[in-house]
Amino acid sequence: MELIKPGSYFDFMKYRGPVITVLALMATLSLVSLFYPGPNYGIDFAGGTEVQLAFRGDTTPNEVRTALQDAGYSRPDVISVEGEPNQYIIRVQEVSSLPDDQIDKLREAVTALLGEDVVREMKVSPGGDKITLRVSGEVHEQQLQEALEEAGARVRSLNLLAGSRDTRYEVHLVGVADELTAQLREKFGDRAPDGALRVEWVGPKAGEQLRDAAIQSLLYAIAFIMLYVAFRFDLRFAPGGVIAMLHDALITLGIYVLLQKEVNLTTVAALLTIMGYSINDTIVVYDRIRENMVRVRDKSLRELINISTSQMLSRTIVTSLTTLLSVSAFFFLGTGVIADIAFALGVGIVIGTISSIFVAAPITELMDRRFFSRSRS
């Protein structure tokens, strides 16, 4: 069976203008979408609290969502757990963490009560569920608790840890998960959930760190791949491959953002895979161009690109097709994370195939004309 007749010659370079224009437009749109509407970060990146609750009586997700909105949560996500009636995963952006001005207020209250010299240090945990206080000297616990509560903290318990060197108090605060469960229990009466089946929270600091690490890894991947291409081929090839690769990742991310799918660590993994796949696709075409450059001496680079791309077209399509086949099985049959990864990979593979034909090689030709033409003639 043959998809592409052997010896076919397609003038890809002729159509590069319109195709690149469309792709560039898509890439620009994607770039814009990163700022508006902006990525819908999952709790790994944005920080937030996730609670899984099993209600005792019949409820609908909508009912729970409304109840949460009434309770003042800004954007509650309520997802029913498949196969478990009345079980929901509830995600709110609130973390127990305290805002800076709140922390300042608490600090003022404590210093006002105990005096500047007595308070040696006050730390608030990033999750916002614990305050650690180091003091020298006497503290009236009741007064301390009252002062903290007056400044807006919701104290669950206050413990003294007498150390060998100094005195430490640990104040445990009421967390979002505790509070949320209690509020629902109040609203739903005898249908209410018992307690959280699962609680997960990511402090905003941890989220930021993860995001930075993810961006860092993307940059590293780009740098290493560029180095490798420059080393194995030459400088004319490196920018085309990297631009095509970035373009694929950007457009996939853009589609993700426009569909308001959640961007989380798994998305980063998928993006990196797409970049790997895209460069893989590009390299195969490059490899053929390199081979033809040695074998066919009397053709322009433009023609060489057309010949090489046409020769590899069958392979490009077959590989994309097989990968798409297995990925689509995951998209249609998988759930949750797996379906999300499959979606991202699917989009990336399609875009990557187009870009390896219309973006990478044409940029190489452009590089050649701009910077290397004199040396060739």
Partner 1 sequence: MDRGWYFRLAIVVGTSLLGFLALWPSVDRWLPCPDIVKETFENQINPGLDIKGGLRLMYEVEVDEYIRDRRDRIAEQVQRQCGVLIGIVPEEEVDDIDKATLAEIQQRCKVERVDKEGDAVRAIRITFSNQEDAQKLSKTWVKDYFRDLRVASGVGDLVVDLHMREEQLTNMRETAVRQSERTITNRIDNLGVLEPTVIARPNDGDIIIEIPGAQESSFERIKSIISRTAQLQFQIVDDESDSRSVFTAPPEGVFLNADSQTFAEAFGEDARDQLRSYIATLPVPDDHELAIGRQEPDPERGGEGWRTYYLYRVADVTGEDLDDASVGFDPQSGSPEVDFTMNTRGASRMADLTGRSIGKRMAIVLDDRVESAPVIQGQIGARGRITLGAYLDRNQLLQEAKDLVVVLQAGALPAPLRPANEQLIGPTLGQDSVQKGALAAVVGILLVLVFMAVYYQVGGLVADAMVLLNLQLLLGTMSGIGATLTLPGIAAIALTVGMAVDANVLITERIREELRLGKSPRSAVEQGYARAYSSVFDSQLTTAIAGIVLWQFGTGPIKGFATMLLIGIGTSLFTGTFCSKVLFDWLVRGARVQRLRVG
Nearer to partner 1, 153 or 214 (CB): 214
**Residue 228 backbone class (left: φ over 0; alpha: ψ -120 to 50; beta: rest):** alpha
> Could you tell me which of 138, 142, 332, 363 has the C-alpha nearest to residue 246?
363
Q: For residue 200, which phi and psi values (nearest 5 degrees)?
A: -140, 135
Shortest reach from residue 69's CB to partner 1, in Å? 25
Nearer to partner 1, 186 or 212 (CB): 212
Please report whether residue 243 would count as binding partner 1 according to CB under 8 A.
Answer: no
Burial 112-151 (b: 16+ CB within 10 A, else e): ebbeeebbeebebbbbbbbbebbbeeebeeeebbebbeeb
Nearer to partner 1, 30 or 264 (CB): 264
Instruction: Report how many residues bind partner 1 under the rule CB under 8 A.
Output: 90
Binders in 3-32 for partner 1, by CB under 8 A = 6
Window contacting partner 1 (CB under 8 A); options: 12-20, 148-156, 319-327, 369-377:
319-327
Considering only 34, 155, 174, 265, the residue that binds partner 1 (CB under 8 A) is 265
Distance spanning both ends of the chain, measured CA to CA: 42
Helices (H) and strands (E) in the chain, counts: 13, 10
Binders in 148-207 for partner 1, by CB under 8 A = 159-165, 167, 197-203, 205-206
Shortest reach from residue 44's CB to partner 1, in Å? 10
> Could you tell me which of 292, 344, 283 has the C-alpha nearest to residue 315?
283
Q: For residue 198, which phi and psi values (nearest 5 degrees)?
A: -155, 135
Please report whether residue 309 would count as binding partner 1 according to CB under 8 A.
Answer: no
Please report whether residue 239 would count as binding partner 1 according to CB under 8 A.
Answer: no
Give the type of residue at 103: I
Considering only 63, 276, 307, 350, the residue that binds partner 1 (CB under 8 A) is 276
Shortest reach from residue 252's CB to partner 1, in Å? 14
Shortest reach from residue 324's CB to partner 1, in Å? 8
Nearer to partner 1, 183 or 273 (CB): 273
Binders in 211-230 for partner 1, by CB under 8 A = 213-214, 216-217, 220-221, 224-225, 228-229
Structure tokens at 96: 């127990």
Structure tokens at 19: 């195709």
Shortest reach from residue 94's CB to partner 1, in Å? 15
Close Cβ partners of 292 (under 8 Å, ≥ 6 residues apart): 299, 304, 307, 308
Shortest reach from residue 262's CB to partner 1, in Å? 14
Window contacting partner 1 (CB under 8 A); options: 71-79, 146-154, 262-270, 362-370:
262-270
Binders in 83-112 for partner 1, by CB under 8 A = 83-84
Considering only 147, 148, 250, 341, the residue that binds partner 1 (CB under 8 A) is 341
Considering only 26, 34, 71, 81, the residue that binds partner 1 (CB under 8 A) is 81
Structure tokens at 344: 């991202």
Q: Is 322 exposed, middle or buried (0-12, 13-18, 19+ CB in 10 A)?
A: exposed
Nearer to partner 1, 59 or 311 (CB): 311
Binders in 49-78 for partner 1, by CB under 8 A = 52
Shortest reach from residue 275's CB to partner 1, in Å? 6
Please report whether residue 338 would count as binding partner 1 according to CB under 8 A.
Answer: yes
Bond into 37 cis (ω within 30): yes
Shortest reach from residue 25's CB to partner 1, in Å? 27
Shortest reach from residue 134's CB to partner 1, in Å? 8
DSSP state, residue 372: I
Q: Are 357 and 284 in contact (CB under 8 A)?
A: no
SS3 90: strand
SS3 137: coil
Q: What angle in degrees, to the nearest 10, is found between the helix axes of 237-258 and 12-35?
A: 50
Please report whether residue 235 would count as binding partner 1 according to CB under 8 A.
Answer: no
SS3 83: coil
Please report whether residue 347 would count as binding partner 1 according to CB under 8 A.
Answer: no
State the Cα–Cα distance between residues 22 and 124, nearest whole angstrom. 51
Shortest reach from residue 119's CB to partner 1, in Å? 8
